[in-house]
Chain A
């Protein structure tokens, strides 16, 4: 029998409190969370690793798998699956980007197992939900027996597959503020070898509100307004998911127009440093990102969403 099969230890607490107490007591002994297992099992069997210690948190779904509004915040439990997110009306009300990203992860069989917490904690620069959390100003809730703390997603990842999560902490929720009312223009685009099961060469979650100039006539497109609070959040464009701040700033208060798109696209290099790797090249990635930026900010590529 391969070592992984015979030599691994798994602890399966049945309550959240038990899981946290166990982690606190055994911090430093190498216990790591096992959620949907899609990343963990793939890695274990591919690399034939064994003898590791896994804290199976799958049974905590009743406590940590809910998606619900609490006042002005949407709370997505870490154990919610991509299928849960894809179908969630509550999540769609926080931003349709969330549901679109969830439906782009793997295929149905993966979406039924893959969790939100696993996608984030796995920390791949190509993780498809990660740019969305940046684009919607999400906070990550981390919990231990010491209590719960919140970290803006922007500060959660500290480097390639590195995050601020401590050894005794579990990622318990993603918290998202209620969106501003009004018109929004947004885009989720994953560029991969094929639609299902592909790992992103480039992935973007982009959104912004469009401030109308005065009240719109019936026949007038909301696109006659100006950009406010644009977010251009990218995956696979560097060691961590990142916003293109300079390009975002250049759009503020401007109309949706091709000149703006071209100008902003030229600024991506200020914030993004893609690399050559097995999946794509830096040049291809940058070219695709520029095109997406140009088309999005000029109003050619994206969708309307009214809150």
Chain B
């Protein structure tokens, strides 16, 4: 049990497949731990209030906004950030699809969009049968604001991944 008078806590979790253990004030946001303590700048800080989705990461496979996650709640969790998607010399299929459709413009929203989309696409597993009318795809990324693309090309990229398998 944690000593209640200790302001800093030790938190151990898995980050992009690697074990991480850090000492941190308990209410530090996962977003700040990733960017400042661990140097992973892929996750973006937009609104800081859970609204824009640009800080989305996966915790145990589920998309969440890292600006609202206190690090103390991360002990034992598996975290994935946008840095986990591409392999050296090879883009992730969703990234390929975004490049093809023109679904990537300034990039401000893109880390968050990719993580929200991947969380959903991976949850489909082998049963890749989202509703025909894109309702589910759109709902999956409705928590990510994009000021550039108008969303259509992003949805098209998701559709291509569904058709081709992630």
Whole-angstrom distance between the alpha carbons of A45 and B29 in the complex?
Answer: 9
| A10–B69 touching, CB < 8 Å | no
> Does B53 sit at the interface, judged by CB under 8 A?
yes
Q: Is B127 an interface residue (CB 8 A)?
A: no
Residues of B within 8 A of A112 (CB): 59, 62-64
Whether the pair A113, B27 counts as a contact (CB closer than 8 A) is: no
Indicate if the CB atoms of B48 and A37 lie closer than 8 Å. no
- A113 CB contacts on chain B under 8 angstroms: 64-65, 68-69
State whether the Cβ of A62 lies closer than 8 Å to any Cβ in chain B.
Answer: no
A197 and B4 alpha carbons, distance in the complex (Å): 35
Q: How far is the CB of A18 from chain B (nearest CB, A)?
A: 8
Task: Chain A residues near B67: list those with CB within 8 A.
Answer: 41, 45
A46 and B142 within 8 A (CB): no
Question: A158 an interface residue at 8 Å Cβ cutoff?
Answer: no
Number of interface residues of B (CB under 8 A): 37
B119 touches A (CB below 8 Å) = yes
B residues in contact with A38, CB < 8 Å: 50, 68
- Chain A residues near B100: list those with CB within 8 A: none
* Residue from B7, B25, B50 in contact with A109 in the complex, judged by beta carbons closer than 8 Å: B50
Contact B53 A42 (CB under 8 A): no
Smallest beta-carbon distance B6→chain A, Å: 8
Binds B, one of A1-9, A124-132, A286-294: A1-9
- Residue B43, interface by CB 8 Å: no
B125 CB to nearest A CB, Å: 14
Take A10-B27, A11-B2, A42-B68 as given contacts and tell me if A106 and B50 are in contact as well, using a CB distance cutoff of 8 Å: yes
> For the complex, what is the distance from the CA of A297 to the CA of B120, rounded to whole Å?
37
Contact B25 A5 (CB under 8 A): yes
A196 and B29 contact, CB distance less than 8 A: no
Q: Are A42 and B27 in contact (CB under 8 A)?
A: no
Would you list which residues of chain B between 38 and 57 have a CB under 8 Å from chain A? 48-51, 53, 56
Question: Are B53 and A9 closer than 8 Å at their CB atoms?
Answer: no
- Whether B73 and A37, one on each chain, are in contact in the complex, defined by CB atoms closer than 8 angstroms, is yes
Q: Flag if A41 contacts B64 (CB, 8 Å).
A: no
Query: Which residues of A are found within 8 Å of B1, using beta-carbon distances?
Result: 12-14, 18
Given contacts A108-B139, A196-B142, contact A6 B53 (CB under 8 A): no
**Beta-carbon contact of B50 and A5 below 8 Å:** no
Q: By the criterion CB–CB under 8 Å, are A41 and B62 in contact? A: no
Contacts of B59 in A (CB 8 A): 112
Closest-CB distance, A127 to chain B (whole angstroms): 15
Q: Mark B1-36, 1 if CB is under 8 A from A, else 0.
A: 110110101000000000000000111110010000
The yes or no answer to A283 lying at the interface (CB within 8 A) is no
Q: Is B70 an interface residue (CB 8 A)?
A: yes
Within 8 Å by CB of B48, from A18, A45, A83, A196, lies A45
Asked if A58 and B73 make an inter-chain contact with CB atoms under 8 angstroms apart, the answer reads yes
Are the C-beta atoms of B143 and A108 separated by less than 8 Å?
yes
A108 touching B51, Cβ below 8 Å: no
CB distance from A178 to the nearest CB of B (A): 30
Q: Which residues of B contact A212 (CB under 8 A)?
A: none
Contact with A along B51-86 (1 / 0, CB 8 A): 101001001001111011110110000000000000
Please indicate the chain B residues that have their CB under 8 angstroms from the CB of A9 in the complex.
Answer: 4-5, 7, 26
CB contacts (< 8 Å) of A110 on chain B: these are: 50, 65, 143
* Interface pairs (26), CB distance under 8 Å: A6-B25, A9-B7, A9-B26, A12-B72, A13-B1, A14-B1, A37-B69, A38-B50, A41-B68, A45-B29, A54-B27, A106-B143, A107-B142, A108-B120, A108-B139, A108-B143, A109-B53, A109-B65, A110-B50, A110-B143, A112-B63, A113-B65, A113-B68, A196-B139, A196-B143, A197-B142
Question: Measuring CB to CB, which residues of chain A are less than 8 angstroms from any residue of chain B?
Answer: 1, 4-14, 18, 34, 37-38, 41-42, 44-46, 54, 56, 58, 83, 106-110, 112-113, 195-197
Q: Which 4 A-B pairs have the closest CB atoms?
A: A107-B143, A196-B142, A10-B26, A112-B62
Given contacts A58-B73, A107-B142, 5 further A-B contacts (CB under 8 A): A5-B32, A38-B50, A109-B65, A110-B50, A197-B142
